[in-house]
Each structure stands twice: as C-alpha cells, then as structure tokens.
Structure 1
Amino acid sequence: MSTIIMSQCWPLQQLSVTQKAVLISLADQANDDGVCWPAIATIGKRCCMSARAVRSAMDHLELVGLLSRERRFNSSNVYLVTPDKFDAAAALPKGKRKSAKSGDAPGAGDAPRAGGAPDAVGGAPRAGGGAAGAALEVRPVPPNRHITINEPSDEPSFPAGLSAPPAKRDSETELQAACRATWAAYAKAYAFRHGAAPVRNAKVNANVKQLVQRLGHSEAPLVAAWFLSVNERYVVQSFHDLGSLLAKCEAYRTQWATGRQMTQTSAMQQDQTQGNASTADEAKAMLRQMRGQANAH
C-alpha cells in the first residue's frame, strides 16, 4: 500500500460511491509510483461489487484521468493510478461541463494534489472566474486515513446513557476452566481405550457442564477419566458415552473414590451375601428366644 497515492485519492470529489471504492482499492494495492496489477475479481470481492460494476467504474476513472491501463494477454492488467492528472471538469455531469468551462462554476473539482499543491483545474484562477491575480483557496490534504496514531482500545465503547455489561464473575471463569479440563481428561482416556477421538457437539458440551456442576470442579475431570476403565456391559456397548456417565455420575464418583467398581455380578453377590447375613441374624434371634423360653420353664 502506498500512503502517498492513498492520501491523494481520499480528498477527490465528484466521483460516485462505486467509482471511489474502486479507486481506493487500487490505491491500497499500488506502490509509490501508483502501479498495481490486481485481478478484476479481486477488486470486486474487496469492494462487494460485480465484475461488470468494477469495469464500468474503471472506464470512468480512465476517462477523468485517474487511471491508465496496460492490457496484457493471459495475465492481470497493469494499472497506473494517477490522482495528479484528475480532470475535474470531465468528472462533472454533462449539463455542468459547459458552465464549468465558461467559468460559471468556479471551485468545481477543487481536489488538491499531494503536498497541498492545487491541481490544474481547481487550484488556479479560471478565465472569467474572478479578479485578475486572485487565487482560489487551497485546502490542505487530509491525513491518510489508513494510518492512526492511537491504537484502538481493548475495551468496547458503549452509547451514551448505557452502562457496560457486568464483568464475568470468577465462578463463571472457573466453571469454563473446569469444563475444559474435564473434556480434555475424558477425551484423552477415550482415545487411549477406543483408539479414536470422541465426538464433541452441543449436546456433549451440555453434558460436560452438568457433570462439572454435579461433581465439582476438582473431581469432575478425575471421574471423567476414570470412567473409561468401567467395564459394565451397557457402558462398554455404548462406548463410554458421556450420557451414561452423567446418568449415574454420583454413583461412579463413589466407585472412583473407593476404588471399587460395582458391576452387576458384584451387586448380585453383595445382595446374596446381605440376604444370607439377614437369614443368619434371624436364626440367631430365634435361637436366643427359644433358649430364653426354656430357661423360664
């Protein structure tokens, strides 16, 4: 980008929005000599225009002296942006060109050249346009709009009368960090056991958040990783999906904390043991009762 060419193009008037946009796009890609060679499609994409609109704008820019083209075969054309050759009279509508030439419209096309020097049309007195030796006012060239001294602030601005939204609470930040840690632990253990990365979508993200909220920030990642060691039949058949973990996360947390996995077989064994113990207790109670009755007689 040439700041010299760009600073000469910005002040130019009497151009349509389309023509000005194409001119600025060319100046943005030109070197200090005004030379560039972008494709029509590239200019159209940058300016949000069709190729036809770009060509039409270029034809006008060439007509008023702002652009010259060197057409090449099987390659991009070479363009020369020449803001110092701008013919403001040619840029006027047809009905006003005659009056501008006769001096009825002094000041038309007063776009200054680079460095503040007046151009051939607007910077020197026209015949019949004023007193002899009188010079038109020359406006200084505005600074290049592509250069800014003050960097943009990281803080967003808000309209007058509206207050900025409240800052995120620390708990929200901790929740997000815990969710990331939980997913990372689960995904690593999942890939180690199943040899593939787990699917992550909106439903999975919601499951991770609920898991963290139910088990806590510190324990959720540990339980999620441990869950991949569970060998329950339905869990293995579902490839340890997070829905299975979430359905009984408190129970799995207890198994993780105690180091014992409660499978269906072990649950049946414990139930049988408990049943046997209850039967034995009942038998002992009956025996004590019978002995008490015998001693009473």
Structure 2
Amino acid sequence: MSTIIMSQCWPLQSLSVTQKAVLISLADQANDDGVCWPAIGTIAKRCCMSARAVRDAMDHLEQVGLLSRERRFNSSSVYVVTPAKFDASAAPSKGKRKAGKAGDAPGAGAAPHAGGAPAAPGDAPGAGGEAGGAGLEVRPVPPNRHITPIEPSGEPPVPALAAPLSKAGLEAQMQEACRQTWAAYRSAYRQRHGVDPVRNAKVNTNVRDLVKRLGREEAPQVAGWFLSVNEQYAVKRMHDLGVLLAGAEAYRTQWATGRQVTTTSAQHADQTQSNLSAAEEAKLLLRKGRAANAG
C-alpha cells in the first residue's frame, strides 16, 4: 500500500460511492508510483460489488484522468492510479443518451401526431394510407432502451491482444515484489531472532535474485517461511538470506510440501536407504544360492 497515493485519493470529490470505492481499492494495492495489477474479481470481492460494476467504475475513472490501464493478454491488466490528473469536467454528461429518444419511430418519413407528440408504440407510419413506408411493418424502439458497449452481444467477445509490458512496467513489478519479499523476511526474522536483519547492497541483490528464481508470487511466502526452518546449517548461520538463496529451489519444495529436512531427518533417510539396499543385496545372494543348489 502507498500512503502517498491513498492520501491524494481520499479528498477527491465528484465521484459516486462505487467509483470512490474502486479508486480506494486500487490505491490500497498500488506502490508509490501508483502501479498495481489486481484482478477484476479481487476488486469486486473487496468492494462487495459485481465485476460489471467494477468495470463501469474503472471506465469513469479512466475518463476523468484518475486511472490508466495497460491490458495484457492472458494476465492481469496493469493499472496506474493518477490522482494528480483528475479532471471532473471530463466526465460524460449524465443526461447524454447513447440511443435515440424513447418513442421515436426508426423509419424515415413517419408522420408525427398532432401537437408534435411522438407516435404511440403501436402506431405504424403507413396506417390510413399516409405517405412514406406504406405496406411496411415498422417496429418502434422500446422506451428507455439504451444500448451500451458493455451489453453482451450475440457473439462471444474476442479478447484483444494487449501490448507487451514496457521495461518501466516490468521494473515496477520487480521492485514491488522485492519490497514484499523483504518485508516478509524481515518480519519473520524479527519474530524469531528479536532484531532486524542487516540490509545492505549485497542483501538487496540477494532479494532480487530470489524473486527472479522463485517468481513474484512465491518469493515473499518462501522468504517468510524460511525463518521456521530448523536445519542445523540454517540455524547456525542465523537464517542468513544467502543460505536461502543458495538452496532456493530446495527450500521452495519444502515450503510447498510442508516437509522440513533437518540434519537428523536426512541422516535417518540415508540410513533407511542403506538398510533397504543391504536387504535387497541379501535377497539377491539368497536367490543365487538357491539357483545353484537346484542346478
């Protein structure tokens, strides 16, 4: 969460409750540059609203300059919250209609009723021998029917191919993942050892390398879990981040399976394997002896 972005979003006015809720949810997940990439479903769940309501709110936020989106194929879109660009006057007028007026007849040449009143829904422009469209059945547009771009059509939508994420966007994602990884490691380290871990240029490099090897999603979780490891070497090194990096993939497997490998358990597994090998060798000798006696 970025307190900078949040503090800039709270005072903003001229937004509906739904739009403000979506904006605050995005700001809560953004970094100091306003960049975040939550899924629509995640925002909908946090704000207790439908996914369609979230999309409508995002459309409005984008129109007034509070949000920019970079859509990516097969992945979450990247959003940038920009409260400094807010322009309430850029919002579309509430009275603007996206379809024809209610009750207007779609056929050209239809005669209006006396006094300029619109034709009733059942009136046909060709009735009574009036000129224009005689003999043709014209169905008027039902009142209060507005066709908007978000209404489903008869054909399934074709997903648009989003442009690849820019270098700056990738770096922003990497920095956010590194911050989360360090925060998880630092919190767990302090809880176990009672002090903050040392942070320097080497540690920062280790954090970045850990994210590269385990990915943005799993690196923070494995880093926090690592402090629960009771392996003799890790405990002796006070759970140094370099130990985690050296065995990153192995520790990730232990985290994923919920099984820690200590020195004692490793020795026990080795002894068990040795016993099994000896038993197999004894069985083989016994079978050879029986075969020789039978011959």
TM-score normalised by the shorter chain: which range applies? 0.3 to 0.5
User: Highest CA radius of gyration, 1 or 2?
Assistant: 1
TM-score (norm 1): 0.42
